[in-house]
Amino acid sequence: MVSIGVLGYGVVGSGVVDLLQKNSERLRQKLGVDLNVLKVLVRNLDKYNDAGSLLTIKEEEVIHEKVDIVIEVMGGIHPAYDYVKKALKMKKHVITANKDLVAAHGEELMALALENQVCFAYEASVGGGIPIIRPMTDSLAANEISQITAILNGTTNFILTKMYKEDMDYGHALREAQQLGFAEANPESDVMGYDAARKLSILSTLAYDQKIDWKDIDVEGITEIDAQDIKYAKKLGCVIKLLAISRKNEKGVFAAVRPVMVSEKGPFGQIDNEFNGIRFEGDAIGEMMFIGKGAGKLPTASAVVGDIIHIVQNYKGKHGKVTAQGQRPSLKWEHPFQWMLRIKTNDRYKVMGSISELFAINNFMFDDAQDKGEVICVVEIENEQSGYEKLQELQSKGYIQGIKKMMKLEEMVS
């Protein structure tokens, strides 16, 4: 018998307990042992009346001699960090779904696991149910990876899909995502792009063999996107997605999370609701894409239980490489792209003249922009630095009251 202790009984914790119960017979036959949940840590016993004697408020009953595997699904850094360290020091295998923890302390915890000859597994920390960590550390490890492009946050993808397809307003869509159990306890993490940045830092660190700290990643969330942006994106045959992008070349690493317009018919344009999509470019495999449910109770539980199966079947003291050396990513996109510009002005003709002088124009959009005192256009940009310099020059003209911009990537078209 393999004994399991679970720290946390929220969306993911209850999903893990349910899934282990639901598929217990299948798992027993597959593994040749019973997987037995001994204890589950909760903050407040009064909140639950269904799980009976499994629940405890004492962490020492979960991180206990009798337990073989500790599953941390509490979220947040504290006290999760201390509990995980304690479990590893007691030579317990640890599984976590906690991207905040892995992004902040992953290397230290992997090193501690190595020291104690146990496993620290975190498949559920990125991409929900999509198997992505193990492919990167094992199956794809022969490749030099040069780029990652991904939708890594289910909540924001759900919100953007509802705004695009159902004209739902932002607040309503966010509430629905919360009710469905996709959002973080503090959804600011989702909508401001921090959750996606943490996941991008985990993937990029693995991909490029160097620590990419999420705090060094250029992050922009979806809170500024309005119905008008969506309308203009539609006119361009595009969808707005919160993309997490990193690229590695001889100069270093670029990493950013930002809303981007992508072709409606391209691979990312078709990933809706809480689904995530992760595309890699490896020198041997070429392009490769993973798509699946990136948030939610059972998809995330599937990844956690997958880690349990991995430990029971395979764990013989082997570990992935621990990457502690860091390099700060570049914050500026160095390749050609387009920007959709929305420029507030009371002199549209002068603005159009200045834009034509400064940029190669792809498209001016007229529609009702005139009534809104805006000039809308899509401009070609050679690289982000030069784009910002031109924007600065434009901004210095007296007749401009504000500029909103959004990246459009042609390369996303399949």
Residues classed as catalytic: 199
Q: Parallel, antiparallel, or unpaired for β 93-96 and 35-41?
A: unpaired
Per the rule left: phi > 0, alpha: psi between -120 and 50, beta: everything else, 341 is beta
Site for ligand HSE in 116-145 (CB under 6 A): 128
Give how many residues touch ligand HSE by CB under 6 A: 11
Which of 225, 242, 295, 379 is the binder for ligand HSE (CB under 6 A)? 295
Under a CB-based contact definition with an 8 Å cutoff, are residues 185 and 202 in contact? Answer: no
Residue whose CB is less far from ligand HSE, 58 or 172: 172
Site for ligand HSE in 144-183 (CB under 6 A): 153-155, 182-183
Q: Residue 408 CB, nearest distance to ligand HSE (Å)?
A: 24
Under a CB-based contact definition with an 8 Å cutoff, are residues 374 and 400 in contact? Answer: no
Which of 72, 100, 123, 195 is the binder for ligand HSE (CB under 6 A)? 195
Q: Residue 173 CB, nearest distance to ligand HSE (Å)?
A: 12
Two tokens, residue 383: 């690289």
Two tokens, residue 251: 């100069």
Residue whose CB is less far from ligand HSE, 177 or 375: 177
Which of 193, 294, 306, 387 is the binder for ligand HSE (CB under 6 A)? 294
Report which of 226, 228, 219 is spatially closest to residue 171, judged by C-alpha positions. Answer: 226
Site for ligand HSE in 223-262 (CB under 6 A): none
| DSSP element (H, E) containing 204 | helix 194-208
Q: Residue 195 CB, nearest distance to ligand HSE (Å)?
A: 5
* Cis check: omega of the bond before 79, within 30 degrees of 0: yes
Asked if 311 touches ligand HSE (CB under 6 A), the answer is: no
Which of 68, 72, 100, 184 is the binder for ligand HSE (CB under 6 A)? 184
Q: Which residues pair with 381 in a beta bridge?
A: 337
Residue whose CB is less far from ligand HSE, 123 or 281: 123
Query: CA-based Rg of the chain, rounded to a whole angstrom?
Result: 23
Under a CB-based contact definition with an 8 Å cutoff, are residues 330 and 348 in contact? Answer: no
Q: Residue 128 CB, nearest distance to ligand HSE (Å)?
A: 5
E strand intervals along 346-393: 360-365, 374-381
> Around Cβ 57, how many Cβ atoms within 10 Å?
10
Residue whose CB is less far from ligand HSE, 42 or 183: 183
Rule CB under 6 A: which residues touch ligand HSE? 128, 153-155, 182-184, 190, 195, 294-295
